[in-house]
Amino acid sequence: MLKIKTAVISVSDKTGVVEFAKFLSANGVKIISTGGTAKALKDAGVKVVPISKITGNKKDDYFDGRMKTISFNYESALLYKRDNPTHVKQAAELGIPKIDMVVCNLYPFEKVTAAKDCTVDKAVENIDIGGPCMVRAAAKNFEGVAIVVDPASYGSIMAEMKANNGGVTLDTRAKLASKAFERTADYDAAINTFFSAKLEDKMVKRLKYTDGFQLGRYAENWHQKGWLYREEGVEWPNLPNCKQVFGGALGYNNYLDGEAAMTTALEFKKVPAVSIIKHCNPCGLATGATIEEAFERAWAGDPVSAFGSVICLTRNMTLGIAKLIEDRFVEIIIAPKIEKKALDYIESLGKKKAGLRLLEFGGIKFAAAPKSKLRAVSGGMLEQETDDVYYLCKKPADLMKKASEYKCKNSGKKLMVGVVSKKQPPAAAGDMLDFGLRHVKNVKSNAISIIREYSKGKYQVIGMGCGQPNRKDSVLLCALRATGNLQREFAASQGAKVDRDEFVASLSKNKRAEYLKNEAAYIAKQLESGKIVLVSDAFFPFRDGLDNAATTGVKFIVEPGGSVRDDSVIAAADEQGIALVFTGVRKFNH
C-alpha cells in the first residue's frame, strides 16, 4: 500500500481536477503544480507549491515554458526506486523529494490536428514533451508512484484512498501504469500519423483494438482458436458492444453472421425490418407494418436456410416474436431491446431455447456510421469507403425515368442511369428497387436478388443467388429459390397442410396435372405483375446473362450498366419484353 503524501498535478484537460485536488489536499497531500493548472487550483482555493521548487528551473518561463517540467531533479524524483537503499541514499544526498502521485494528461494534439486546416506549426506547438516524459517516468516506477492520466479515474482513486487511509494499492498502481503507457502509445501514434502525411507525404494507418479475449472452444472450424478485440469509440450499433441479455457466449462465426445481420437490417432502420443471415448472406429480408409481419415475410423468403440463422430486428423483440421462434431453431436475435415479456417467455421454454442468444443494441449511439472498412490481407491491410451509394441519380423515383447520362464523381465514368428498355417499368417501383439494391449490396458476389412488393410499400426477398464464380449460376440459384417460394405460397393458398412436394404427390394424376397447370399460371402472374424485380449486383457482360435471367419469368430487371456490350444486353431485354433499368452503381461484395 502506498500512502499518498505528495502529488504533482499538471493537466490540459481540467475536467474534475479541482474536485480531485481538493480531495487530495483535504487528506493531507501536498500539491505541486504548474502553469494554467496551478492557477486554476489556486483560484479554487487549493494551496499549491510551484514545480520550480522541485525542478530547480529558475527560469522555467523561458523558451515559452517548454522546459517547465523537464529537469534532472524532477525526473529523478519520479524514477528513483523506493526499495533500493542506494537510490534512497543518493536521493537524500541530492535533496530529491519523494513524489507519490502524478496527475497528468497531455496537450490535445489529436483534437487540434483533427481540424482540416491544422498547420504544421500549430501541430508542433501541441506536441507535449514534458507531459509524456513525466507520465512514462511515473509509470515505469509504478511500484513507488501512482500515475493518473484519465479524469475518469479520479472517482475510483478517491474511493480507494478513502477506504485505505489515503493509500493506493499496488494492483491499482499497476493498472494505472498500463493505462498511462496506453495513452502515450496512442499519443505518439497520432503524432507519427500526422507528420508522416504532412512531412513525408506518406500514409500511415495505426490501429488500436483492446479488451481482447478468446472465443469459446474454437473459431471458424473445430481445429482453430479465435479471439475478439474491441474497437473503442464506435458510435454506431455494432455486435462487440451489444448487451447480451440471454444465452451463452458468442463464437467466431456468430460474430461474422451477427455483423452481416446488423449491417443488412440497419439499411432499413426507419421502418420495421428483419434480416435473416446464414453464412454472412441475407437469405431472408423484409419490411412490414409490424416487426412480426416483417419477421414472417423474411422467414418465408427461405425457410430452409433460416434454420440455425442469426437474425436482426430494427424494432424491439416482442412477445409476438418470442412466440414465433418457439418452434424454430434460431442461433441469435439482435434487437434494439429485448422486451421483458419476450425474455420471460423465452426463459419459460427452458432447455428448448438453451442454445439461443439474445442481444440488445439500443444503448449504442447512432451518431456516425463508419466512413470506411478495413480488411486484412497477407502482408497488408485494405481500406475502402463504406458502400452507401445505390444509384447515381438523386432518388429512387428518378430510376423510373428515361435513361440519361450521369458521371460517377469517384471514377469519372460516364454511365446511363434510368430506363434503357422499350418496355417501361411500373412508375411507382422506385422504392422496391431501393430495397433490392440494399439487399443485393449485402449478398456475396456474384449476387442476384428477386424482390417482391407483397403489399403497398412493404417488401421481401423471395430469391437469392450468391457467391457464384459466374453470374449465370447465381441467376439459376436465385430463380430456383423464388420459384420454390411461390410454389409453397400457392400450395398454402390451396389448403395444403404439408410440404408442397408431398401435397402434389398426394393428388391423383388428373388433379396433379391440373394443379401444376394452375401453379405455373400463378407463378407467371406473380413474376409478370410489376411487383417483382430481379436485381443484379453488377452488369451482365454478355447478352446471354440477360437471356438467362429472362428464363426466370421476371419481366423487370435492374443492373448497374457500364458494360462495353450494354447495347446487346438492352436489345436482349427488348426482345424478351423485359423492362431494364440501369443504376450506374455496382454493388460487388467479396
**pLDDT string in tens for the chain (590-residue length):** 999 999 999 999 999 999 999 999 999 999 999 989 999 999 999 999 999 999 988 888 888 888 888 999 999 999 999 999 999 999 999 999 999 999 999 999 999 999 999 999 999 999 999 999 999 999 999 999 999 999 999 999 999 999 999 999 999 999 999 999 999 999 999 999 999 999 999 999 999 999 999 998 899 999 999 999 999 888 899 999 999 999 999 999 999 999 999 999 999 999 999 999 999 999 999 999 999 999 999 999 999 999 999 999 999 999 999 999 999 999 999 999 999 999 999 999 999 999 999 999 998 888 778 899 999 999 999 999 999 999 999 999 999 999 999 999 999 999 999 999 999 999 899 999 999 999 999 999 999 999 999 999 999 999 999 999 988 899 999 999 999 999 999 999 998 988 899 999 999 999 999 999 999 999 999 998 889 999 999 999 989 889 988 988 999 999 999 999 999 999 999 999 999 999 999 999 99
C-alpha grid cell for residue 2?
A: 502506498
The domain segmentation of the chain, as residue ranges, is 2-200, 210-360, 390-582
> Are residues 585 and 537 in contact, defined by beta-carbon separation less than 8 angstroms?
no
Chain centroid offset of residue 313 CA? 16
Q: Cite the beta strand spans of 439-495 per DSSP E.
A: 448-455, 458-465
Q: What is the CA radius of gyration of the chain?
A: 32
Contact 532, 451 (CB under 8 A): yes
Burial class (CB in 10 A: 0-12, 13-18, 19+), 100: buried
Asked if 55 and 77 touch (Cβ cutoff 8 Å), the reply is no
Q: Rounded to an integer, what distance in angstroms lies between the CA atom of residue 237 and that of residue 335? A: 10
- Say how far apart CA 275 and CA 289 lie, in whole Å: 15
CA angle 4, 127, 195 (to 5 degrees): 140
Res 335: pLDDT: 97
Other C-beta atoms lying within 10 Å of the C-beta of residue 213: 9
Task: Tell me what pLDDT residue 114 has.
Answer: 95
User: 378: which 3 cell numbers?
Assistant: 497477407
| CATH no. for 210-360 | 3.40.140.20
Closest CA to 417 of 437, 394, 440: 394
**390-582 matches 210-360 in CATH topology:** yes
Task: Report in angstroms the alpha-carbon separations of 151 from 11, 13, 199.
Answer: 10, 8, 33
- Burial classification of residue 270, based on how many CB atoms lie within 10 Å of its CB (0-12 exposed, 13-18 middle, 19 or more buried): exposed
Beta carbons within 8 Å of 331's beta carbon, 6+ residues apart: 254, 257, 308, 309, 310, 355, 356, 357
pLDDT in tens, 550-571: 988 999 999 999 999 999 999 9
CB 204 within 8 A of CB 192: yes
The helix/strand/coil state of 201 is: coil
Question: Would you tell me how many other CB atoms lie within 10 Å of the CB of residue 69?
Answer: 26
Distances in whole angstroms, Cα of residue 317 to Cα of each of 179, 296, 335, 340: 38, 13, 6, 9
Task: Assign domain 2-200 to its CATH superfamily.
Answer: Methylglyoxal synthase-like domain (3.40.50.1380)
Which residues are paired to 516 by β-bridges?
Answer: none
Look up the CATH superfamily of 390-582: AICAR transformylase, duplication domain (3.40.140.20)
**Residue 186: burial class (beta carbons within 10 Å; 0-12, 13-18, 19+):** middle
